Amino acid sequence: MESPQRRKSGLNLPAGMSETSLQLETFSGSFRAISSLSSPGSYRALSGLTTSPSKSSTCSDRFIPCRSSSRLHTFGIVDKGSPVKEGGNEAYSRLLKSELFGSDFGSFSSPAGPGSPMSPSKNMLRFKTDQSGPNSPYSPSILGHHDSGVSSEASTPQKPPRKVPKTPHKVLDAPSLEDDFYLNLVDWSSQNVLAVGLGTCVYLWSASNSKVTKLCDLGPNDGVCAVQWTREGSYVSIGTSRGQVQVWDATQSKRVRNMGGHQTRTGVLAWNSRILSSGSRDRNILQHDLRVSSDYIGKFIGHKSEVCGLKWSHDDRELASGGNDNQLLVWNQHSQQPTLRLTEHTAAVKAIAWSPHQSSLLASGGGTADRCIRFWNTTNGHQLNSVDTGSQVCNLAWSKNVNELVSTHGYSQNQIMVWKYPSMAKVATLTGHSLRVLYLAMSPDGQTIVTGAGDETLRFWNVFPSMKAPAPVKDTNLWSLGRTHIR
């Protein structure tokens, strides 16, 4: 005779199994009905229930000899229609759910939402695929209904950031290199020769053989304020503290022209294909043409303070100028007035660079009170982006090999930063100079930069990949790691 307890439950339980042996387990949001026998040494059984008096629909008990190797935790009872009588399996399902969750399970509504323990989802008691873990990119849940928070992008590993050497591969001593924000004393020619202004002299350092040549000495009553190579790399222009602009033939160490026009020091120079522009503390920008005998052929008047930044666009159509009046002006060759007057900077604008990858894209950097790198569309004058670097921006230069740019900084961190455009994600931050990094030039191949500071050193850094092989930059060992003198 059946016990009252078994008769009350309505379940056909095997001998030796009580209703209390039915345990409810939660596994990844689904519930499993697992039977365990009270006698520890006996076989384990999953109870089989009949859905119909028909012989073909009767299910016998299935005995599982070893539960530990069966992975029962990945299986549930599937709601499948009976092949003999439709609706028979539905009655069994209602009965089982009533025994597991109570008689009021069907009408119970939980605020926890679907999929919670109090309100099981529609996938209740279905086969559950074994998963690799909630954070695995190979989890099959990204293809199913279960939201594990893993996007399809996570399955693709991200490309590791390009590694940039953190130390310079070459250091040159540069005695008497001025710590003056408004001067421009270092430039690298297309012929792989570095020009450096030290005091009253200009020195040439060949990167191919490390040979140092003294180009000129301006004498005790003058001083070098700016140096700039022509694009061909055979002539170098020099701005002096007396306001003159000199042009020298570097191969013959001979002065070709000496042009006046400025009232005081000439601190910045810029060449295009045939015109040399010069900016001065007298607030004027002069246009010089070596083919004309006169000192200058044009004058741009627009700044209210010293002109300290000057760059021609790559197509020679526009000239950008920055001044100590916090203004960034854009000129063309056919107008005596600036076509754009950009006043968003709140400090002196010395750092100016035109993008070689995108027409009319101009980058500018502000001084200590501003600290921002700003990007402009010079076609309409719109500011495209602005990034606070945290310190004074002294120089900017675009890479011609990849769409990145490098900035050098002064107070308070004296760092060198490489940025990816247009995201402005930091590729690298380089330190080594003890004073603000006022000077910046780039090698002809676009892979190496040289930086100069008031600590009287020039440091060479490999920061950009080559144009043909955008792989991590490696030390070429072309130069010794030792420190040498530039004069």
Q: What is the rounded average pLDDT of the residues 225-247?
A: 97
Q: Which two tokens stand for residue 303?
A: 């700044």
> CA 157, CA 136: separation in Å to the nearest integer?
12
pLDDT value of residue 152: 41
At residue 321, what are phi and psi to the nearest 5 degrees?
A: -130, 140
What's the pLDDT tens digit per position in 185-194?
999 999 999 9
461: which strand partners?
449
Environment class of 234 (CB within 10 Å of its CB; exposed 0-12, middle 13-18, buried 19+): middle
Pairing of strands 170-173, 483-485: parallel
pLDDT band at 141 (very low <50, low <70, confident <90, very high): very low
pLDDT band at 96 (very low <50, low <70, confident <90, very high): confident
Structural domain boundaries in the chain: 170-462
> CA 262, CA 283: separation in Å to the nearest integer?
9
What's the pLDDT tens digit per position in 394-438?
999 999 999 999 999 998 889 999 999 999 999 999 999 999 999
Say whether pLDDT at 369 is over 50.
Answer: yes
Say whether pLDDT at 295 is over 50.
Answer: yes
> CA 309, CA 40: separation in Å to the nearest integer?
87
Contact 442, 426 (CB under 8 A): no
> CA 374, CA 349: separation in Å to the nearest integer?
11
Q: Which residues contact 108 (CB under 8 A, 6 or more apart)?
A: 101, 102, 118, 119
pLDDT value of residue 364: 98
> CA 456, CA 298: separation in Å to the nearest integer?
36
What's the pLDDT tens digit per position in 350-359?
999 999 999 9
Q: Tell me the Cα Rg of the chain.
A: 39
CATH superfamily of this structure's domain 170-462: YVTN repeat-like/Quinoprotein amine dehydrogenase (2.130.10.10)
Query: Ranked by mean pLDDT, which of 105-109, 138-142, 289-293 comes out on top?
Result: 289-293
Cα–Cα distances in angstroms (integers) from residue 133 to residues 28, 79, 403, 445, in the given order: 10, 26, 39, 48
186: which strand partners?
196
Say whether pLDDT at 469 is over 60.
Answer: no
pLDDT value of residue 51: 41
pLDDT band at 257 (very low <50, low <70, confident <90, very high): very high
Say whether pLDDT at 260 is over 60.
Answer: yes
pLDDT value of residue 188: 98
Enter the DSSP assignment of 94: H
Give pTM, 2 decimals: 0.66
More confident residue, 75 or 480: 75
In which element (H, E) is residue 93 found? helix 88-101
DSSP 175-207: TT----TT-B-EEE-TTSEEEEEETTEEEEEET
pLDDT band at 31 (very low <50, low <70, confident <90, very high): very low
pLDDT value of residue 459: 98
Q: What is the rounded average pLDDT of the residues 289-293?
A: 94
pLDDT value of residue 286: 97
Q: Which residues contact 472 (CB under 8 A, 6 or more apart)?
A: 162, 163, 465
> CA 247, CA 242: separation in Å to the nearest integer?
15
Say whether pLDDT at 52 is over 70.
Answer: no
pLDDT value of residue 443: 97
pLDDT band at 16 (very low <50, low <70, confident <90, very high): low
Contact 184, 170 (CB under 8 A): no
Q: Is 153 helix (H, G, I), strand (E, B) or coil?
A: helix
Q: End-to-end CA distance of the chain: give it in Å, rounded.
A: 112
458: which strand partners?
172, 452
pLDDT value of residue 333: 82
Q: Beta-carbon neighbour count of residue 379 at 10 Å?
A: 11
Comparing 7-11, 15-19, 418-422, which segment has the lowest mean pLDDT? Answer: 7-11
pLDDT band at 76 (very low <50, low <70, confident <90, very high): low
Residues belonging to the chain:
487
pLDDT value of residue 412: 84
Say whether pLDDT at 151 is over 90.
Answer: no
Task: Describe the strand order of the beta sheet including 416-420 as a list of residue ranges.
Answer: 393-398, 404-409, 416-420, 425-430
